[in-house]
Amino acid sequence: MSSPEFSNVNTVIVYTGNVMKQANINTFKDELASCLENSLKNVNSSYNIDQTRGILEVPSPYDLSYKLKDRDDFEITVKLFYLPSSSNSDDNPSTLPPSYISQSLHHLFCLLGITYVDSFIVYFNGLLFDDQDQDDSNLVMDDFESLVEVWKELESQYRNDRIKKLGVSEFTKNRFERFLDVVEIPPKIDQINFKSCCDLPNRMINYAKEHDIELLTHKDPANILPSATFQKILKDTKFPFTSKLLPRWVLKYSVLVKCREVVANKGYIVMSSTPTSDSNFTYPIESIE
């Protein structure tokens, strides 16, 4: 597979496919890693290359010709993780490319055959929720500006009717207040890590009620795909690519059947690229007619 057609490839996108159909003892330990492995093991049977952009896509054998029918019967929620290695800039490693928003949406829309998602939650790497934090000391000014730039992109997608509801993850009351001062469209969802041993974060709960914010839970790890883990999977599955690949973003998506509380489809898309590639490629996503 290390033929000339790969010489221009600098970006590799891997799809896990429907993880609900791949459930076994391993997926309960690390769902993303074990399903990525399933897809990469199959890479020789099917892959797509976009030569213009230099993107190699590795589909999942569990996704073959899956297209969603009766869109209105489903609620689709996505969560975009900006990984620690999301930026390739050494000077400013915490830059968060806003282009990841349109990239992830584009690939999801193609995958599922949809034109909008119901909720889009964005997770900025390194943020941790703490109901008691008095000042947001782990978030410096530059980081904050970067968050706002990403948010502007989300607002644009929202105005184009591509996203019905915007959300953030691990935002404390303080972070929210700072954020609300500078953004136009406020987040309607805050997704917080659920720790069963702890009491309810009442401060945040009250704030959320006052500001009409849905306080949802998740149990995603702080770093959902460390570079070392990703590279080990590539090595274990003998992925035939000479350059090193850094994972940049992960998009987790859930397709839920409304009024039945059944998960119809759940999966991940991982975008990775070589250390020096320009990850700011964009897809124009116009407004829905």
Partner 1 sequence: MGAAHAGHEKAGIKVGKPLPWEQVKYYADHIRNRGINQFLSIYNKTKDREKDGLLWGDEIEYMVIAYDDANKNAKLSLRTPDILHRLQKEVEETLRKGELVEVSWQPEFAAYMIEGIPGIPYGSTLKSLLRVEQNMKLRRATAFKYLSQNESIITLTNFPRFGCPGQFLEPHHEPFGPKLKSSFVPDEVINPQIRYHSRRGSNVAINIPIFQDTKSQNLFPDCERALPGHIFMDSNAFGAGCCCLQVTIQACNIREARKLYDQLAVLGPIMLALTAASPIWRGYLSDMDCRWFVLEKCGDDRTKEERGLEPLKNDRFIINRSRWDTIAYYISADKTLKSEYNDLNSVYDRNIYKKLIDNGVDELLARHMSYLFIRDPLFAFEDSLHQDDESSSNHFENIHSTNWQSVRFKPPPPNSNIGWRVEFRCMEVQITDFENAAFVIFMILLTRIILSYELNFYIPISKVDENMAIAYKRDALNTEKFWFRKNIFANYDGVEGNNTLFWGFGNEFPGLINIIFQYLESMNIDIETRYHLGKYLEFIGMRASGKIQTTATWIRNFVRSHPNYNRDSIVSQEINYDLIKMVEGIQKGQINSPELLSLAQPNLG
In the complex, the residues that contact partner 1 under the rule CB under 8 A are 20-21, 23-25, 28, 31, 73, 75, 77, 119, 192, 194, 196, 200-201, 205, 214-219, 254, 256-257, 259-264, 266
Go through 253-276 and write b for each residue having 16 or more CB atoms within 10 A of its CB, e for each that does not. Answer: bbbbeeeeeeebbbbbbbbbbbee
**75 vs 133, beta carbon nearer partner 1:** 75
**24 vs 134, beta carbon nearer partner 1:** 24
The alpha carbon of 41 is separated from its chain's Cα centroid by a whole number of angstroms, namely 22
**140 vs 194, beta carbon nearer partner 1:** 194
**Could you tell me the smallest distance in angstroms from the CB atom of residue 61 to partner 1?**
14
**214 vs 278, beta carbon nearer partner 1:** 214
* Distance from C-alpha of 241 to C-alpha of 10, rounded to nearest angstrom: 10
**Could you tell me the smallest distance in angstroms from the CB atom of residue 111 to partner 1?**
17
**213 vs 233, beta carbon nearer partner 1:** 213
**Could you tell me the smallest distance in angstroms from the CB atom of residue 30 to partner 1?**
12
**Could you tell me the smallest distance in angstroms from the CB atom of residue 83 to partner 1?**
19
| Residue 251: closest CA among 22, 97, 129, 83 | 83
**248 vs 266, beta carbon nearer partner 1:** 266
Other Cβ atoms closer than 10 A to 142:
11
For residue 93, count CB atoms less than 10 angstroms from its CB and return exposed for 0-12, middle for 13-18, buried for 19 or more: exposed
**Could you tell me the smallest distance in angstroms from the CB atom of residue 214 to partner 1?**
6
104 and 288 Cβ atoms separated by less than 8 Å: no
**Could you tell me the smallest distance in angstroms from the CB atom of residue 167 to partner 1?**
10
DSSP string spanning 216-245? Answer: EEE---SSSS-HHHHHHHHHHTT----S--
